[in-house]
Chains A and B, each alone.
Chain A
Amino acid sequence: MNAAYIVLALPLAGALLLVFGGKRLGDPLAGWLATILSFGSFAAVLVTWLTLLGDNAAGNGRLIEKNIFTWLPVAGLHVNFALRIDPLSMTMALFVTGVGSLIHLYSIGYMRGDRDYPRFFFLLNLFLASMIVLVMANSYLFSFVGWEGVGFCSYGLVGFWFDRESAAVAAKKAFVTNRVGDFGFMVALFLMFNHFGSFNYSTVLGTASSGLLGGHATLNGTFATGLGLMIFLGAAGKSAQIPLYMWLPDAMEGPTPVSALIHAATMVTAGVYLVARSAPILHFSHSSQWVIACIGAATMFFAATIACAQNDIKRVLAYSTLSQLGYMFMAEGAGDYTSGLYHMINHAFFKALLFLGAGSVIHALHDEQDMKKMGALRKYLPITFPTFIIGYLALSGIPPFDGFWSKDDILASAYHMNFFLWLAGAVTAGLTAYYMSRQVALVWFGKARWSEARGDSAHAAVGNDPAAEGSTVAPGGTGTEEAAHAPHEGAHGEHSGRPHESPPVMTLPLIILAVLSTIGWLINANFGGFNHLEKFLEPVFPTAIAPAIHVATNTKWVLGIITTALAFIGLFAGLRTWRKVEVPALEPAFLAHGWYIDEALAATVSGPIESGADAMAYELDARGVDGAVNGVASLITGTGRQLRRVQTGYVRNYALGLAGGLAVILAYVAARVGGA
């Protein structure tokens, strides 16, 4: 069990080594160090997991806490940092470190030649450590430490190419939007401490579920709703749900491995994890479950419509991620946590695969991200192409790939909760298949539009010395992905205009993820006793907390067939429309602009806020408050200035004053004497 410490220690040590010695290690070595430590962490998780499985006989509900140290020892508020090893944290840790390690490996090739290579891997390792803290913490507070840690790493990595204004703005936007969610998380922490006197999962959830197991309510419904909604606000920030979704598409400014790791596979699912963790609390609040389900469903549908009209290869995937996260929240709102988590794992596989594949394409086309300038790439990227197709089918929900199974489960649970939730999910499944088909058709099939689009720059590259080009890392204002990123001269010797397959360090993760996406149904397919995940997670979600959802087998079949049919319809519609030689322009501006929400906010909200703040600083503060202070000062000097006039400097005036004063005194004395 002590392997649990190693899980956390390795990436943390990597981050420390890289921050101080990263420069010395240099280009490939820093990456290899980070990757090896990351794989070591994955191995340690495996060991811990196997030990946990073996520990079953002990009958302790599969829960082990490994203490680290006492963090806060204030009277009445005693917080221990410990690692919590239970099925849920292990499930998370396994795929986080697993997928994380693969993406580390991929990055070695992808980031080759970047000026800030060591910084990238420092942040990547720090991210992994924070993510491990997030999922393996024993308390909400310790999870919050990891929660903010991943937020910081995301900030650093989205703004990795900091000399691009857009990247810097996107990084800030991501952090600030997350902070809005964190506000909710923090208020949830306060409520929790106020009510339970602790942040520990064991205490908080134990107190909540003790009543459930005993058949009486331990939490007041209103309190549970408040707490649940605050937790969900935190989760919505991190997992980019409505209304805090806007940072995620912009976060695509980061390098592609970052998008794969943070903004698809792991960090954005932290909200899903948090909500799953809080299942015993949510059980007491039907209304917050409804809110979660509805917001999930809304995000799911909304993001899918936008994804249909994006031209940037990564933005399509980003909106797709939003949409898939919506599915997960819908499942959790419906009380089917296992399916939500199952979909999260599958999504990590296929979405990481798609992002990495997209990265490979971008790499091959020398930092081109516009899908309209791609096409017919299948001949040039013989490894990326088939793996991408597997990811595409998995995301589109085509059996037998893994996305089908988890989506099917989710939709059955949604149907059980409400017909319209199911309907939205089914329609979204069709939309998903459509926009992914559009992407596949534009990138891999059709006519090669890249040769004329990239012709001149490709020619320029032929004549130039690669090293010289590598040193000119001028940022491109056009928004293309890697303008600030030196060409990968180490990875491919000759610079021709021809797209080229990526080096093995980049294709190997693709192959592994493709295999995982294909056999993902082994984890929790709902037939033939394959429901391993469900059985494994049983201690975390006992039926008292998450009642089993019974949907008749016949209904399930019907639902499954309808959804799959919709997916196929979307698939063929997409492929037929977009495989043409002449690319049609079928992107409604309304969708391409994301329902104009960003623009509307910018127009209506930012303006007044900015001028309000300006007024506060320069009118209220400088003129009002400071004006009052300086006003007192000038009142005093003004009075002095007036009084100064008395001081004429003429002796006779002073003498007259003297005489006058004397006369007054005499008169007074005389009056007193006379009066007496």
Chain B
Amino acid sequence: MTVPGAWYLVLAAILFGIGATGLLVRRNVLIMFMCVELMLNAVSLTFVTFARMLNDIGGQASVFFILVVAAAEVVVGLGIIVAIFRRRPEATADDLHMLKG
């Protein structure tokens, strides 16, 4: 039996929703970061699903780009987060408002 394509899309939507909500409500920078990853993966899943459904390889190609971007993001993002936690172990996202105008 094959799982209908729509289910994958629903799953992706749920994952994206969890990620977006998490990003908005959590204060912990690390968790917010994981939420971003979750959203990226949700988008990747959508792409793959559509590639399969529409028989278009383009979607899968896009996913590779997303993976690369995500990897790069992880490297830079984690680096920043580690640097922040080194200086202020207790920091939440709200404590980091040095960009206030």
- The B47-100 residues at the A interface (CB cut-off 8 A) are 93-94, 96-100
Which residues from A are CB-within-8-Å of B32? 651
Contact mask for chain A residues 50-81; partner B; CB cutoff 8 A; 1 contact, 0 none? 00000000000000000000000000000000
CB distance from A670 to the nearest CB of B (A): 15
User: Could you tell me if B24 and A649 are in contact, using CB atoms closer than 8 angstroms?
Assistant: no
Q: Could you tell me the distance between the alpha carbons of A649 and B98 in the complex, rounded to whole angstroms?
A: 6
Residues of B within 8 A of A656 (CB): 24
Q: Which residues of B contact A550 (CB under 8 A)?
A: none
For residue A652, which residues in chain B have a CB less than 8 angstroms away from its CB? 24, 93-94
Minimum C-beta distance from B50 to chain A (A): 18
Report whether A647 and B24 are in contact in the complex, using a CB–CB cutoff of 8 Å: no
Q: Are A647 and B100 in contact, with the CB atoms below 8 A?
A: yes
A620-651 near B? 1/0 per residue, CB < 8 Å? 00000000000000000000000111111111
The answer for the CA separation of A659 and B35 in the assembled complex, in Å, is: 14
Cβ of A655 under 8 Å from chain B: yes
Task: Please name the residue on chain B nearest to A640 by beta carbon.
Answer: B101
Residues of B within 8 Å of A650, CB to CB, are 93-94, 97
User: Considering the chains assembled together, what is the distance between the CA atoms of A656 and B20 in angstroms?
Assistant: 10
**Contact among B20, B23, B97 with A648 in the assembled complex (CB-CB below 8 Å):** B97
Q: Are A649 and B99 in contact, CB atoms less than 8 angstroms apart? A: yes
Cβ distance B70 to chain A, nearest Cβ, rounded Å: 18
A655 in contact with B24 (CB, 8 Å): yes
Given contacts A655-B23, A656-B24, A659-B24, contact A646 B93 (CB under 8 A): no
We find that the number of chain A residues with CB closer than 8 angstroms to chain B is: 13
CB distance from B32 to the nearest CB of A (A): 7
Across the interface, A644 reaches (CB within 8 A) one of B93, B97, B101, namely B101
A367-403 interface with B by 8 A CB criterion: none
Measured CB to CB, the nearest residue on chain B to A644 is: B101
Give which listed residue, B20, B96, B101, contacts A651 with CB less than 8 A.
B96
User: Which residues from A are CB-within-8-Å of B20?
Assistant: 659
Q: How far is the CB of B72 from chain A (nearest CB, A)?
A: 20
> Which residues on B sit within 8 Å (CB–CB) of A659?
20, 24
B32, B93, B96, B101 interface centre (most CB from chain A within 10 Å):
B101
A354 to B98, CA, bound (A): 90
Closest to A646 in B: B101
Q: Tell me the chain A residues, 89-144 only, with Cβ under 8 Å from chain B.
A: none
Task: List which A525-563 residues lie within 8 A (CB) of chain B.
Answer: none
A650 to B32, CA, bound (A): 13
In the bound complex, what is the Cα–Cα distance between A656 and B94 (angstroms)? 14
Docked complex Cα distance between A646 and B99 (Å): 11
Q: Considering only CB atoms, which chain B residue lies closest to A641 in the complex?
A: B101
CB distance from A482 to the nearest CB of B (A): 74
Q: Which residues of A contact B101 (CB under 8 A)?
A: 643-647, 649
A650→B96 CA distance, assembly (Å): 7
- Whether the pair B23, A649 counts as a contact (CB closer than 8 A) is no
Give Cα distance in the complex from A226 to B76, angstroms: 88
CB distance from B93 to the nearest CB of A (A): 5
| Residue numbers in A under 8 Å from B93 (CB-CB) | 650-652
Min C-beta distance of A72 to chain B, whole Å: 64
Cβ–Cβ contact B99 & A647, under 8 A = yes
Q: Which residue of B lies closest to A653 (CB)?
A: B97
A131 to B: closest C-beta gap in Å? 74
From B99, which residue of chain A is reached at the shortest CB distance?
Answer: A649
A397 to B99: give the CA distance in the assembly, Å.
97
Residues 8-26 of B at the A interface (beta carbon under 8 Å):
20, 23-24
Find the B residue at minimum CB distance from A656.
Answer: B24
Chain B's closest residue to A645 (CB) is: B101
Query: Closest Cβ of chain B: how far from A657's Cβ, in Å?
Result: 11
Q: How far is the CB of A323 from chain B (nearest CB, A)?
A: 80
Q: How many Å lie between the Cα of A644 and that of B100 in the bound state?
A: 8
List chain A positions with a Cβ less than 8 A from chain B.
643-652, 655-656, 659
- Ordered by A's residue number, 28 sampled pairs between the chains whose C-beta atoms are within 8 Å are A643-B101, A644-B101, A645-B101, A646-B101, A647-B99, A647-B100, A647-B101, A648-B97, A648-B100, A649-B97, A649-B98, A649-B99, A649-B100, A649-B101, A650-B93, A650-B94, A650-B97, A651-B32, A651-B93, A651-B94, A652-B24, A652-B93, A652-B94, A655-B23, A655-B24, A656-B24, A659-B20, A659-B24
Knowing that A650-B93, A656-B24 touch, tell me 8 more A-B residue pairs with CB under 8 angstroms.
Answer: A643-B101, A644-B101, A647-B99, A648-B97, A648-B100, A649-B97, A649-B100, A655-B23
Which 10 pairs from chain A and chain B are nearest by CB?
A649-B97, A647-B101, A649-B100, A644-B101, A649-B99, A651-B93, A650-B97, A655-B23, A655-B24, A650-B94
